[in-house]
């Protein structure tokens, strides 16, 4: 009986995952514009600068007991091509400064230490439905920039997209030299609209390459 129930539960889970991705897929094919490219910036962490832990949970660094400072968020979405076909097995990388605005990079000369509990850089590989997900923090203010998360999408070694995600409705956006270059539609494509899902805050940003 127990066995039967868990099989049934597994089947229902699989069904809801499938239905969920069909829904997401429909939604993006209806409104998709190509995700606008943006500058890589000076702080893309070269492999030698990364922590040994480069998974998709930036709030937890392996071997460090504490979680990083900052408001924890889930950032997720689907990666598709221009035709709306989801792309499995694609590498999505993100990097951002810690809660105090410090990058995990020797080029960041601000005179205070990086939050060692914040991974600063991480990656995910899209699953069979083209979905990626990260656990990270709401981006913090960095001098002369509005809050942003850097994003890179790669297929093998091939760079498909380099861009930046912003907080939807953030007042600092209007003063940001990169954000201001975006049309309204482009800005919407790279904006994180946060919603409260149970006990966590999440934003869905689909990526079209
Ligand atoms: Fe940056």
Quick: pLDDT tens for 151-203: 999 999 999 999 999 999 999 999 999 999 999 999 999 999 999 989 899 99
Per-residue DSSP letter, 116: T
114 alpha carbon to ligand 1 midpoint, in Å?
15
Supply the pTM of this predicted model: 0.84
Helices assigned H by DSSP within 32-96: none
Q: Does pLDDT of 1 surpass 50?
A: no
Could you read off the pLDDT of 29-81 as tens digits, one per residue?
A: 445 799 999 999 999 998 888 999 999 999 999 999 999 999 999 999 999 99
Residues 6+ apart with CB under 8 A from 33: 185, 186, 189, 208
How far from 7 is each of 16, 68, 155, CA to CA, in Å? 14, 38, 35
The arithmetic mean of pLDDT across residues 126-134, rounded, is 98
143 alpha carbon to ligand 1 midpoint, in Å?
10
Helix, coil or strand: residue 131: strand
85 alpha carbon to ligand 1 midpoint, in Å?
30
For the chain, which residues make up each domain, given as ranges? 1-31, 32-208
43 alpha carbon to ligand 1 midpoint, in Å?
7
Question: What is the SS3 assignment for 74-90?
Answer: EEEEEEECCCCCECCCC
177 alpha carbon to ligand 1 midpoint, in Å?
12
183 alpha carbon to ligand 1 midpoint, in Å?
20
Question: What fold characterizes domain 32-208?
Answer: Protocatechuate 3,4-Dioxygenase, subunit A (2.60.130)
């Amino acid at each position: 009986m127990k066995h039967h129930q868990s099989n049934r539960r597994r089947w229902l889970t699989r069904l809801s995952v499938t239905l969920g991705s069909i829904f997401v897929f429909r939604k993006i094919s209806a409104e998709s514009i190509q995700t606008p490219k943006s500058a890589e910036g000076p702080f893309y962490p070269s492999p030698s600068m990364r922590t040994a832990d480069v998974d998709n949970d930036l709030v937890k660094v392996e071997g460090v007991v504490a979680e990083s400072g900052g408001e924890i968020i889930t950032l997720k979405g689907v990666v598709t091509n221009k035709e709306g076909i989801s792309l499995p097995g694609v590498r999505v990388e993100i990097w951002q400064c810690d809660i105090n605005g410090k990058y995990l990079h020797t080029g960041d000369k601000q005179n205070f230490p990086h939050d060692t509990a914040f991974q600063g850089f991480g990656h995910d590989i899209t699953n069979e439905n083209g979905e990626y997900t990260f656990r990270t923090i709401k981006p913090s203010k960095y001098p002369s920039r509005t809050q942003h998360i850097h994003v890179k999408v790669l297929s093998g070694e091939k760079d498909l997209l380099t861009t930046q995600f912003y907080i939807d409705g953030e007042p600092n956006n209007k003063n940001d030299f990169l954000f201001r270059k975006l049309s309204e539609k482009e800005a919407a494509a790279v904006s994180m609209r946060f919603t409260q899902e149970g006990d966590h805050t999440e934003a869905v940003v689909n990526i079209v390459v």
